[in-house]
Amino acid sequence: MATLSPTSFTKNFNSSVDFPITSFQTFAIFGPKLKTEQTHFRLSTSFKTGSCLELKAMKEPPGLTQKLDKNRLDGLTESENGCDLFQDLKHRFLRFKKHKFEENLGHFQNLAEGQAPKFMIIACADSRVCPSVILGFQPGEAFMVRNVANLVPPFESGPSETNAALEFAVNSLKVENILVIGHSRCGGIRALMSMQDEVDSSSFIRSWVIVGKNARLNTKSAASHLGFDQQCRHCEKESVDHSLLNLLTYPWIEQKVAKGELSVHGGYYDFVDCTFEKWTLDYKGSNLGKNSRLPVKNRFYWC
C-alpha cells in the first residue's frame, strides 16, 4: 500500500475525491500468474485555510467508498438535527433570561439567597404533565418531585428519592401543603393494572409501581364490571388517595398534619379535556383509612 506525504495548501477545500492512481499499484503473485490490484486514493481536505492535503491509499473500490460517504452524510444530518434541538433550547433559555429573569431581577436575586415554597408537589414523570405549566407555578413557589405514576411509598418501604424529597420539603423548607397529582392515561398505572403476580420481579418498573398494589386491589374490587381502560382511570384516582394515606405513615408528616401546620391534597389532571379535580384529606375524619372511601373535604372541579 502506498501513501504520499501530506502537502500544505493555502486554499480552502471542502471535498473528498476518490480516483485511481495507476502509477501506484501493488502486485501480488499467486502461483504462476501475475495479479494486479488497483489501489484507489482518497483526496481528503479539511475546511480551514492552510490545512494539509492528505492522500490516503484505500483498497475499497469507488462504489464502497461512496456508500461509506453516504452513511457519513446521514450521520452528519442526524447530528445537525440534534444541534437544532439544542439551538431551540438555547433560544428558549435566552427568552427566559430576557423576559423573565432580567425583568424580575430582584425576585431571582432573593431566590439565590434561599427558597421558601408553600407547596410540595408530587407528580408523574409523564412528559404531558408539567405542574409548572398547568398550575402556573413560578420559580420559588413549589418544591417538586416527579416519578412514574406519582406514587408515594409508605414509610416502611425505606429510602427513595421521593421520601428524601419529602423529608427535605417538610422538615427543612417547612412547606404548608403537599399536593399529589394524578393524571389521565397514565402509563405507570396501566403497567400496575396489567402486571401479573408471576412476572419477573427484576423489572424496575414493576418493582416501583407495586407501591400502588392496594390501589390496584381496591380498583379490581370496585370496578371489576368495567372495561380495562375504565379500570385504569379509576385506579389513577385511587392511587392518589392511597398516596395521601401513605404520607401519614411518616411520623413527621402526620404530626404536622395533626397540628394543622401541614395540609395534604390530591389532584387529578385530565389532559384529554383539560380539567382538574382537587380535594383535601380530612385528617379529622373518623376511621381514617379504614373505610373504603378516603375522608376528604374541599373538593373542587376546575374546567
Annotated binding site for Zn(2+): 124, 126, 183, 186
Binding residues: 124, 126, 183, 186
Number of Cα atoms under 13 Å in the Cβ half of residue 238: 25
Helix axes 228-247, 187-194, angle to 10 degrees: 100
